[in-house]
Amino acid sequence: MAEHLELPRPWRLALTAGWNLAEALGLPVVGYLAGEHLGGRNAGMIAAAAVIWLAVIGRKIVTGTVPGLLTISALVLSLQTTVVIVTGSVLFFLLQFPLANLGLCVLFARTAPTRQPLVAKLAAEVVALRHPSHHPGLHRFFQGATWLWAGIFALSTIGMSVLMAVEKPKIFLFTTTVFTVGGVAVGTALSTLWFARVMRRDGLQLRFQH
């Protein structure tokens, strides 16, 4: 492959990213809302977990592979559902949020030093980014960006744990939402700026696929 990076044309890029996000994030929300309406919070959690695992199984049967984002969603949701169902207490219901972030931290950190860092896998799956796999500068970027996200989730875990200990549940849930959205926004911005810097430094060009 030539020393350039390729993305799908804008309409296909939007379709690819939208499908992956809807599959990994939208399906669990629909499952939770349906389950909660029929049987309450626990039923909603179980329905959300069931829906996401059905999607995992369906992907495996139809395509032979399971996207990383879908796998992450299934693992995190399973952890949250287990905590909520087994304990049944408000304290442990709140504990699911820092535990989910801890799980993401471990998942990203585990793949960061390997030949297949998770950020590279997600970039290929979510936005269909094609790049020269042998390029050392890009590989270092994907490893570094994976460590970056592991650090962001580690900080989120610590912050949420502190908030859970000192704040009331309603305030904690609101602050957790802000924490999560802010962390994702910061991580995305830093990763994008870092990626652009690597491209400029190594003379790489980004173009749309034919």
Alpha-carbon distance of 164 to 175, in angstroms, equals 10
185 or 210, higher pLDDT: 185
Alpha-carbon distance of 14 to 179, in angstroms, equals 26
Q: pLDDT grade, residue 3 (50/70/90)? A: low
Q: pLDDT grade, residue 1 (50/70/90)? A: very low
- Cβ-proximal residues to 16 (8 Å cutoff; 6+ apart), any chain: 8, 126, 127, 128
pLDDT for 53: 93
pLDDT digits (tens, 9 = 90+) for 145-171: 999 999 999 998 998 888 888 877 778
DSSP run (H or E) holding 207: strand 205-208
209 and 2 Cβ atoms separated by less than 8 Å? no
Q: pLDDT grade, residue 89 (50/70/90)? A: low
Mean pLDDT of 113-124: 87
Q: Does the model's pTM come out above 0.85?
A: no
Amino acid at 141: F
22 and 69 Cβ atoms separated by less than 8 Å? no
pLDDT for 113: 92
User: Does position 205 have pLDDT exceeding 80, yes or no?
Assistant: no
pLDDT digits (tens, 9 = 90+) for 29-53: 888 889 888 888 788 889 988 999 9
Q: In the chain, what are the domain boundaries?
A: 4-208
